[in-house]
Structure 1
């Protein structure tokens, strides 16, 4: 790779959207009506006091603004970039009825960027209460639970299997939308509270589930989800067929490669990870990047803003198309994907219309590589080591609670998403982490009072 090409590709992975200028932030913050009983607060899963943080921008109190945000949302800097604000806070803004909504996400980014650039430590650990909690996973849910527990005085240890903490925000969201240094700053806000983070520490391998249950007063499972499952079609074991999670992760952990320059890459799936894989492909120099989805745009699970971004990047969408075979040449290199056209029938048990193949509609899409992005598998084996109830890897919770079938083990984040439980958003995971911490505090403190 020439140095010029390498530099160009690296620049493609710099943050795509610029932040507000000080003048823009001041003007937008002064547009806010500071509503009493503001609907934007109600629409935020973490309940950020949005009028207050915006008013503090208008008055020049940026540290106070950032602290207001981060108090409610321990990953508020990341969420400023990746939240579907048009569906949440901005969608609820009363100004939608007369003009344009306040750009709440951009203002949230403005405040937290200031805190990052000025190396602010916003919180102090609470007085130790003698209780210990182990958290498995350092993604948004795990970090949020750790932060709240540390503020409440718990000694918290996070066990993280990866080399660096941060989970999804560190490894799973493309750099041009969420740079790693944003995630690392949020991790540091938790570390500053005397939280121990043990990286390269895989529970079930380096330390047993039973040991955690024995050594700690409570355990939080915030383990997220695993790799992308196989498609179950011919040719998917070829070298040019990639797991979307690994594909995106490589752009954040390895040197940017030129091997996709001029290639045709096809992504199977239509969630946010599929969008990330496709837009990564474009920025890695692919001549063509396409998304293959067996339903229509109306059924895709990607956020609207992700879909619009992908279209702007030149990603092509192949709706009502289902892959049946990955085609290779005599050397075993991918040359295309055989697909069949689909049509939607009546709704299934999940309420979604079921795609069925149209007889005789087979065709081949040219491709030099294929990326699987059809959801993620679960850490079933680890859940079974904890001997807790689950439904296909989705933890079964006890009533209106984050407690599992083992009274010492709690769960939050993506590990409880699915089967009618939870929402797969970073901001929802953050809120679940907080609520799990409060529930643990209620349980352990009540036991302490009973003993006293």
Structure 2
């Protein structure tokens, strides 16, 4: 499998066969357990009867990032975990069906989302990751004018700068963003709030502001600070994606971390031809943070994963780990060390009370009634599908604050 090549999905025949396995549950549990309310129960029913246009409409009415979530959502934690079919054999491949439907939508050049008549009010959104993009879509559908301020040179946030190409092709991200532009969203790039434009300026010129700030910087453990052999996973993945894999690579790589980002690093290194990739993880397999799908993929591609060890000391490119739950040490010497140990928010210049990379309060409206939050800095899971839900809820909160009616759309 090439670094930039996505695995093949369903055909029209095979997707109908998979949808036919659906039990057509009343009050479908898969739909109840989708954080973004994408309603898989309804769109699978449509696919079962070969109404692909209806399936696409169901997805888009609830999730502006439908094609992206189809590829990167850890469905085994949410909708597929709740699938009634698991009591018989295996759950319906909800993500795979959603991918087929959104691919069909793109190939058929469907224009499903519509902007409502202008209501005379405008919103500024800071950050163009999934939460910001979804918030923009929801607000445009309610008649607001929306301007999005992005500090980097292109939109998408971690979708464009982090998730590897083999999992999330660039053309899919660009397709989703293009549709939101077509709805009427205006994008302003290389705009750092607090430097290029102030929050006060946004408050003066817009009726409301949503801060959809992502955790886009990797954390570095104190042991590895200023170590020339160490690099954060976020930095590595961004370089690999931006350069289509054409980057300097080690012969022997050590990865530290056990989440989905760590698995992305493992697979990316192997796909790019790194012979020896060893990932040492704090958690034991029974408590792993990575999704089973991502863990299986990393092992399938030949990454060695050692669970239950914590870094104890570092000497240049040699790291000694201590076993958490037994006596013993492990020492590994590598050409390069990649740390996937969490991400941090850069909210410099913004009056946000952050604690553990999240705002301290619950909800979306800050102490400044005109300013709202969404995305990674809002409380909740850090997955794309949760970002979509936070974006929708923040947009509804803004709408209610400005006197709109809660039509749940």
> TM-score w.r.t. structure 2 length?
0.93
User: Hey, what does 1:389 align to over in structure 2?
Assistant: 353
1:115-148, CA deviations, whole angstroms, 9 ceiling, x for partnerless residues? 1223332211111111111111111111110000
Deviations 1:1-38 (A, max 9, x none): xxxxxxx9xx33311x3201111011122222322111
8 A Cα contact 2:67 2:176, kept in partner = yes
User: Which residue, 292, 297, 306 being the options, matches 1:304?
Assistant: 292
Residues 321 and 65 of structure 1: CA distance in aligned 2, closer, same or farther (over 3 Å):
same
Contact 1:321 1:339 in 2 (8 A): no
Structure 2 distance, partners of 1:22, 1:253, is 33
Matching residue of 1:226: 216
Who is 2:3 aligned against? 12
Contact 1:134–1:219 (CA under 8 A) maintained in structure 2? yes
Range with bigger deviation, 295-304 or 284-293? 295-304
Q: Distance in 2 between matches of 1:337 and 1:272?
A: 24
Check the 8 A contact 2:208/2:371 in 1, yes or no.
yes
Cα-to-partner distance string for 1:404-447 (whole Å, 9 max, x where unaligned):
1211111111112xxxx311111111011111111111110169
| Residue aligning to 1:369 | 336
Q: Larger deviation: 367-376 or 288-297?
A: 288-297
Query: SS of 1:442's equivalent?
Result: helix
Q: 1:135 aligns with which of 125, 128, 131?
A: 125
State the partner residue of 1:434.
Answer: 392
Give the root-mean-square deviation of aligned CA atoms.
2.0
- Write the mapping of 1:274-285 to structure 2, written as runs, cut at 5 A: 274-285=262-273
Any unmatched runs of 5+ in structure 2?
Answer: none
> Aligned to 1:233, what secondary structure does the other structure show?
helix
Aligned pair 1:402/2:364, yes or no? Answer: yes
Contact 1:62–1:114 (8 Å) recurs in 2: yes
* Cα-to-partner distance string for 1:197-226 (whole Å, 9 max, x where unaligned): 112222222111221122111111111113
Q: Report the counterpart of residue 28 of structure 2 in structure 1.
A: 38
> Against the structure 1 CA distance between its residues 264 and 66, is the aligned structure 2 distance closer, same or farther, given a 3 Å change threshold?
same
Query: Which structure 2 residues correspond to residues 342-357 of structure 1 after superposition, within 5 A?
Result: 342-344=323-325
2:375 to 396, 410, 413: 413
- Counterpart among 93, 107, 113 of residue 103 in structure 1: 93
2:46 alignment partner, SS class: helix
C-alpha separation between the residues in 2 aligned to 1:39 and 1:85?
13
Distance 1:410 1:239 in 2: 39
Q: 2:320 corresponds to which residue? A: 339
Mapped partners of 2:347, 2:180: distance in 1: 28
Q: Secondary structure, in 3 states, of the residue corresponding to 1:270?
A: coil
Offset of residue 392 of structure 1: 4.8
Q: Deviations over 1:23-74 (max 9, x none)?
A: 1011122222322111111011122232321232233332221121121111
**Structure 1 unaligned spans of 5+:** 1-7, 329-335, 345-356, 448-452
